[in-house]
C-alpha cells in the first residue's frame, strides 16, 4: 500500500469519524450544523494556518542579506526540488528543530530554530531543509493542517455530546441519543481515535518526506546525521511554545514534546532509529556515504 493511498484512507477515516459523531449527537440536523462549523474552521485554516503557526512560535522572516547561509541553501534546494522559493524564517529557540507550513507550494514557508543552526553542520542543515521542502512539494502541509483542524473539531463535538447527552434540542432521541454515559464515553474515546488517525498520518508522511528530501539533497546521510544529532539534543532541551500548543507537534521534523514514546500508536513521529535505518538503506542503494562535516556562518 503506497503512502499516498494510506494517507487518503486515514483522512477519509477521520472525516467519517467526525460525521458519525455529529450524527450521534443530534441526528442529521446536528451532523449538518457541526459539519458547517468544521468547514468554516477548515477554510480559515486553509488561508491562515501559516501565519498563525509562525506567529505562535515568534518566527522572524529572513532574506538573503539577513541570513545569507540559510536563505542560500533553501534557494538552492528549492531549485533542485522544482518548487517556488518559500519564505524563510528563523525561530529563537535552543531546541534544534524545523518545520514547513503553507497551503500550497506557491504560499509556503520553512522555519528553522537557532538551536538547529547552531548545532548542525552546513550539510546537516541542508538535509533538514530538503526534508521540509519535500513536505511542501508533497502538499503535506495542507494535509496536516486539515487533519489537525478536523481532529480539533472532533474534540469539540465530543464535549458537546457530554453536555447534551446525545439528545436533540426538543428532547427527542433522534439518531439514537447517547445518554449521559454514552456522552462521557464519546468525550473520552472520540478524541483518542482522532489522535490516533492524526498521528498515523503524520508518521506516514515523515517517512515519505525523509526519502524525497534525501533525493532532493542528493545525499541521504546528511539527513540521517542531522536526525541523530537532533535526537541527542532535543530530548534535553524543552520547547515551551510547542508544549503550550501540542497540536502543532506533528509539523516539526522531530517531535518537540517531552515524554514522547517510540514508534508506537501514540507517537507523532516515527522512531529516529527507524528513520535513520531507512536513510542508510537508501544511501547504500545510491552508493553514497557520509562526507566530512563543514561549518559555515548562518548570518
Domain ranges of the chain: 3-286
Active site residues: 132
* Residue 218 region by backbone torsions, left for phi larger than 0, else alpha for psi between -120 and 50, else beta: left
Q: What pLDDT, on the 0 to 100 scale, is given for residue 166? A: 45
Q: What pLDDT, on the 0 to 100 scale, is given for residue 256? A: 92
Q: What does the pLDDT profile of the chain (299 residues) look like in tens digits?
A: 455 565 566 666 666 777 777 777 677 776 777 677 766 766 777 788 789 889 999 999 999 999 999 999 999 999 999 999 999 999 999 999 999 999 889 999 999 999 999 999 999 999 999 999 999 999 888 777 666 666 666 766 666 666 655 444 444 444 445 555 655 666 666 666 666 665 666 677 899 999 999 999 999 999 999 999 999 999 899 999 988 877 788 889 999 987 544 444 446 688 899 999 999 999 999 887 655 454 444 44
Distance CA 27, CA 214 (A): 48
The answer to whether 88 touches 67, Cβ cutoff 8 Å, is yes
Q: What pLDDT, on the 0 to 100 scale, is given for residue 174? A: 44
The predicted model scores a pTM of 0.77
Q: What pLDDT, on the 0 to 100 scale, is given for residue 124? A: 97
The answer to whether 142 touches 157, Cβ cutoff 8 Å, is no
Distance CA 271, CA 292 (A): 26
Q: What pLDDT, on the 0 to 100 scale, is given for residue 79? A: 97
Amino acid at each position: 500500500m503506497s503512502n499516498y493511498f494510506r494517507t487518503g484512507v486515514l483522512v477519509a477515516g477521520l472525516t467519517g469519524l467526525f460525521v458519525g459523531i455529529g450524527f450521534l449527537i443530534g441526528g442529521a440536523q446536528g451532523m449538518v450544523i457541526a459539519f458547517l462549523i468544521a468547514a468554516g474552521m477548515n477554510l480559515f485554516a486553509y488561508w491562515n494556518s501559516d501565519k498563525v503557526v509562525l506567529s505562535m512560535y515568534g518566527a522572524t522572516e529572513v532574506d538573503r542579506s539577513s541570513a545569507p547561509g540559510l536563505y542560500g541553501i533553501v534557494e538552492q534546494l528549492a531549485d533542485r526540488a522544482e518548487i517556488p522559493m518559500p519564505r524563510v524564517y528563523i525561530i529563537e529557540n535552543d531546541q534544534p528543530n524545523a518545520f514547513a507550513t503553507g497551503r500550497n507550494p506557491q504560499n509556503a514557508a520553512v522555519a528553522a530554530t537557532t538551536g538547529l543552526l547552531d548545532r548542525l553542520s552546513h550539510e546537516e542543515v541542508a538535509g533538514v531543509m530538503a526534508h521540509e521542502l519535500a513536505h511542501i512539494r508533497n502538499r503535506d502541509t495542507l494535509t496536516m493542517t486539515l487533519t489537525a483542524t478536523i481532529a480539533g473539531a472532533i474534540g469539540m463535538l465530543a464535549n458537546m455530546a457530554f453536555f447534551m447527552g446525545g439528545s436533540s434540542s426538543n428532547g427527542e432521541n433522534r439518531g439514537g441519543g447517547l445518554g449521559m454515559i454514552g456522552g462521557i464515553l464519546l468525550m473520552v474515546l472520540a478524541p483518542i481515535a482522532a489522535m490516533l488517525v492524526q498521528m498515523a498520518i503524520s508518521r506516514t508522511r515523515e517517512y515519505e518526506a525523509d526519502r524525497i528530501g534525501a533525493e532532493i539533497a542528493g545525499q541521504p546521510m546528511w539527513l540521517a546525521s542531522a536526525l541523530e544529532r537532533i535526537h541527542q539534543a532535543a530530548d534535553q532541551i524543552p520547547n515551551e511554545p510547542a508544549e503550550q500548543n501540542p497540536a502543532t507537534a506533528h509539523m516539526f521534523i522531530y517531535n518537540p514534546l517531552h515524554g514522547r514514546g517510540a514508534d508506537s500508536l501514540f507517537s507523532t513521529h516515527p522512531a529516529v532509529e527507524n528513520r535513520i535505518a531507512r536513510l542508510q538503506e537508501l544511501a547504500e542503494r545510491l552508493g553514497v556515504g557520509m562526507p566530512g562535516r563543514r561549518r559555515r556562518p548562518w548570518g
